[in-house]
């Protein structure tokens, strides 16, 4: 935590935080026109140092009244679920302490738990050869716009996959490949009446069929929006769109989902081409109409997939395209459900749309731009907006390295000709913020306590650790009239996104239940072998395959020796019969690349080849007892 009395903490001129003359409040004047804006982005791509070398210093002058500590033995108020970025995992962070509590492997191999090695986790991974994931957007399932603590969903942009994490055991239980697309990026859940669907955007366009025959036929390129059934984890339907899709969100009626779209004329496949248009689009998806079209059979299927695909290109009655400036990125829905905010990225503005007008838009009573109630000028590089539930919005300004707090109603009044006094404060962050999130801010229950800024660069914030720097997370107190920075800390790799949920919404198990479906396949195998997992310590020989069943109770395995022949395929199945929480056992077969976690009352299994003759030791690699080091045994491999 930050010490507010530290004299080395930087401060900024108080003039920068005055809520007047909002255009002048930015430390950098707005670039004149979109052409200059594109030039600025190009300069950033060429060398970030020139933009980032200016010290974007946080205002800590008032931090003495905003210190939030979580003492020894005390619990955090919120669970934070952070994407692990290029690591492919999800991390659980306690808020406000910002302590890392646990890591959940999702699209990666984790030797600590054996994820990606055990039979149970390989079943989840569907034996996928792609273990180099890129996890982006973690979001929790909802009921009537409230977090329900059941699932976390997250996407793998690198391999076009979506995963589901069970919040009772904090383990990944399903992963699916999304067909017909490349680079699944934006992900959000249906909020109302419950999370029936998980909505995902595929960002990159390509020809269909993608068999090498149309690679230079740019007109045949397109991408799709997909709805995944949250319970069955199957793709329910897909919608063809114009342009490249970026981020997505859903409303609080259950009628609509919407996605930001750049390269909206489908003309650009290179850096400059994708930013050619002065306006791109927010694409609105009419869920009821899409479901009706699928039910009526008005869809096609593409080669290699039986997923219904409907046409949502411009002119379709299934979608609406609202022009917004320019290369829009984040799309965020306010907790009261009245507005969604489109963040311009290559425009100093965010666009506010009134969701109640979407019915009239699809009825043909109004034009797409009539849904816009404000285009709010905030600063350079607006990427994402969060909400406090008190009528205020918080937008990350990537180029300005700031969080901008602004009044939603005053912004609407200014768009209608009133005074432009909607900016309430700008707080410098370090550096180049991407996603930001408020506590409970994506639900009806936004409580306005904390905001986290996920900064893309740390520069000189921390001890140097080589050419690869950590990222920087900054926690901000937003409970009062002013934003106050209260935590600054490194994180690895790129924590692309996060969400924060009150601890009352999450009820994790302390020990496993013996009938948990996570090891249902292993139970079925044991039943076929005539094994009682809770009591038996036996070896089953099936030709070249050997199955070794054993129990574990700290500090011993139920079997301290078993024999196999060189070249045998060996499956070790262990049931941890300890019933005290936190007594986790492990199993590591030395020099075989074999290790796994077995929690209290859990059954876990792992398969490997006995490819070394002689004595091969195995041991418990999770500390479980004062005699933990004595918890071991021998596999005797006969030639």
E strands, 128-196, where?
139-143, 146-156, 161-166, 171-177, 182-189
pLDDT band at 8 (very low <50, low <70, confident <90, very high): very low
pLDDT the model gives residue 36 = 37
Kindly report the CATH number that applies to the domain delimited by 179-337+354-372: 2.130.10.10
Categorise residue 609: left if φ over 0, alpha if ψ from -120 to 50, beta otherwise.
beta
pLDDT the model gives residue 27 = 38
End-to-end, the C-alpha distance of the chain in Å comes to 59
Please write the tens of the pLDDT for every residue from 176-218: 999 999 999 999 999 999 999 999 999 999 999 999 999 999 8
pTM of the predicted model as reported, rounded to 2 decimal places: 0.90
The mean pLDDT of 134-160, rounded to a whole number, is 97
Please write the tens of the pLDDT for every residue from 508-548: 999 999 999 999 999 999 999 999 999 999 999 999 999 99
Please write the tens of the pLDDT for every residue from 545-562: 999 999 999 999 999 999
pLDDT the model gives residue 295 = 98
The mean pLDDT of 355-380, rounded to a whole number, is 98
* SS3 track for 401-459: CEEEEEEHHHHHHHHCCCCCCCEEEEEECCCCEEEEEECCCCCCCCCCCEEEEEECCCC
pLDDT band at 274 (very low <50, low <70, confident <90, very high): confident
pLDDT the model gives residue 464 = 94
The mean pLDDT of 91-112, rounded to a whole number, is 96
Average of per-residue pLDDT values in the chain:
89
Select 517-638's CATH number: 3.40.50.2300, 3.40.50.300, 2.60.40.420, 1.10.10.10.
Answer: 2.60.40.420
Question: What gap in Å lies between CA 182 and CA 204, rounded to an integer?
Answer: 6
pLDDT band at 132 (very low <50, low <70, confident <90, very high): confident
pLDDT the model gives residue 219 = 86
- Asked if the model's pLDDT at residue 38 lies above 50, the reply is no
Cβ 242 vs Cβ 261: under 8 Å: yes
Please write the tens of the pLDDT for every residue from 79-89: 999 999 999 99
DSSP letters for 8-75: TS----GGGG-SSSHHHHSSSPPPSSHHHHHHHHHHHHH-THHHHTS------TTGGG------TT--
The mean pLDDT of 302-312, rounded to a whole number, is 95
Categorise residue 126: left if φ over 0, alpha if ψ from -120 to 50, beta otherwise.
left
Q: Tell me where in the chain the CATH 2.130.10.10 domain(s) lie.
A: 179-337+354-372
Residues in the chain: 639
- Asked if the model's pLDDT at residue 33 lies above 50, the reply is no
pLDDT band at 266 (very low <50, low <70, confident <90, very high): low
Question: What gap in Å lies between CA 228 and CA 234, rounded to an integer?
Answer: 6
The mean pLDDT of 129-140, rounded to a whole number, is 90
Cβ 226 vs Cβ 164: under 8 Å: no
Q: Tell me where in the chain the CATH 2.60.40.420 domain(s) lie.
A: 517-638
The mean pLDDT of 396-422, rounded to a whole number, is 96
pLDDT band at 304 (very low <50, low <70, confident <90, very high): confident
The mean pLDDT of 387-395, rounded to a whole number, is 98
pLDDT the model gives residue 362 = 98
Of 238 and 265, the one with more pLDDT: 238
pLDDT above 90 covers what percent of the chain? 82
pLDDT the model gives residue 14 = 37
pLDDT the model gives residue 131 = 78
pLDDT band at 267 (very low <50, low <70, confident <90, very high): low
The mean pLDDT of 327-347, rounded to a whole number, is 96
């Amino acid at each position: 935590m930050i010490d507010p009395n530290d004299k080395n903490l930087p401060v900024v001129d108080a003039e920068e935080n005055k809520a007047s003359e909002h255009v002048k409040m930015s430390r950098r004047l707005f670039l004149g026109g979109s052409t200059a804006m594109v030039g600025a982005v190009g300069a950033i791509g060429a060398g970030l140092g020139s933009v980032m070398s200016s010290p974007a210093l946080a205002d800590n002058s008032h931090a003495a009244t905003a210190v939030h500590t979580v003492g020894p033995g005390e619990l955090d108020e919120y669970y934070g679920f952070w994407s692990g970025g290029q690591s492919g995992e999800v991390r659980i962070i306690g808020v406000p302490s910002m302590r890392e509590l646990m890591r959940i492997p999702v699209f990666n191999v984790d030797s600590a738990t054996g994820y990606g090695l055990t039979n149970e986790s390989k079943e989840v991974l569907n034996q996928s050869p792609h273990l180099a994931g890129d996890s982006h957007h973690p979001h929790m399932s909802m009921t009537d716009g409230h977090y329900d603590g059941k699932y976390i969903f997250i996407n793998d942009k690198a391999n076009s996959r979506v995963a589901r994490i069970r919040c009772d055991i904090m383990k990944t239980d399903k992963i699916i490949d999304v067909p017909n697309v490349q680079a699944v990026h934006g992900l959000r859940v249906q909020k109302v009446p419950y999370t029936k669907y998980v909505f995902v955007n595929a960002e990159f366009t390509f020809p269909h069929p993608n068999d090498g025959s149309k690679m230079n036929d740019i007109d045949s390129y397109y991408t799709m929006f997909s709805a995944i059934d949250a319970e069955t984890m199957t793709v329910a339907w897909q919608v063809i769109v114009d342009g490249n899709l970026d981020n997505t969100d859903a409303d609080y009626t259950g009628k609509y989902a919407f996605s930001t779209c750049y390269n909206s004329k489908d003309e650009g496949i290179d850096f400059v081409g994708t930013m050619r248009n002065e306006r791109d689009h927010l694409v609105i998806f009419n869920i009821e109409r899409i479901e009706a079209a699928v039910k009526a059979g008005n869809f096609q299927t593409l080669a290699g997939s039986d997923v219904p695909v409907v046409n949502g290109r411009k002119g379709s009655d299934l979608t609406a395209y609202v022009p917004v400036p320019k290369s829009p990125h984040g799309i965020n829905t306010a907790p009261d459900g009245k507005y969604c905010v489109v963040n311009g990225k290559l425009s100093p503005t965010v666009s506010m749309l009134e969701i109640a007008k979407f019915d009239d838009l699809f009825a043909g009573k109004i034009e797409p731009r009539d849904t816009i109630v404000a285009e709010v000028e905030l600063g350079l590089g607006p990427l994402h907006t969060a909400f406090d539930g008190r009528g205020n919005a918080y937008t990350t300004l990537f180029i300005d390295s700031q969080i901008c707090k602004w009044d939603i109603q005053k912004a609407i009044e200014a768009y209608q000709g009133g005074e432009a006094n909607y900016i309430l404060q700008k707080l410098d962050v370090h550096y180049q913020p991407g996603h930001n999130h408020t506590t409970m801010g994506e639900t009806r229950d936004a409580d306005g306590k904390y905001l986290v800024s996920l900064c893309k660069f740390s520069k000189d914030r921390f001890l140097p650790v080589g050419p690869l720097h950590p990222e920087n997370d900054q926690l901000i107190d937003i409970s009062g009239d002013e934003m106050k920075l209260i935590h600054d800390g490194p994180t690895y790799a790129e924590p692309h996104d996060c969400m924060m949920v009150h601890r009352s919404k999450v009820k994790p198990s302390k020990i496993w239940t013996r009938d948990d479906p996570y090891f249902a396949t292993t139970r079925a195998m044991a039943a076929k072998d005539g094994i009682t997992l809770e009591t038996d310590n036996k070896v089953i020989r099936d030709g070249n395959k050997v199955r070794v069943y054993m129990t574990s109770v700290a500090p011993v395995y139920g079997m301290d020796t078993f024999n196999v022949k060189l070249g045998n395929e060996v499956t070790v199945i262990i049931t941890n019969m300890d019933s005290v929480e936190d007594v986790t056992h492990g199993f590591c077969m030395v020099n075989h690349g074999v290790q796994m976690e077995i929690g209290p009352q859990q059954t876990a299994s792992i398969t490997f080849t006995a490819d070394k003759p002689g004595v091969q030791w195995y041991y418990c690699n999770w500390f479980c007892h004062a005699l933990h080091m004595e918890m071991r045994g021998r596999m005797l491999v006969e030639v």
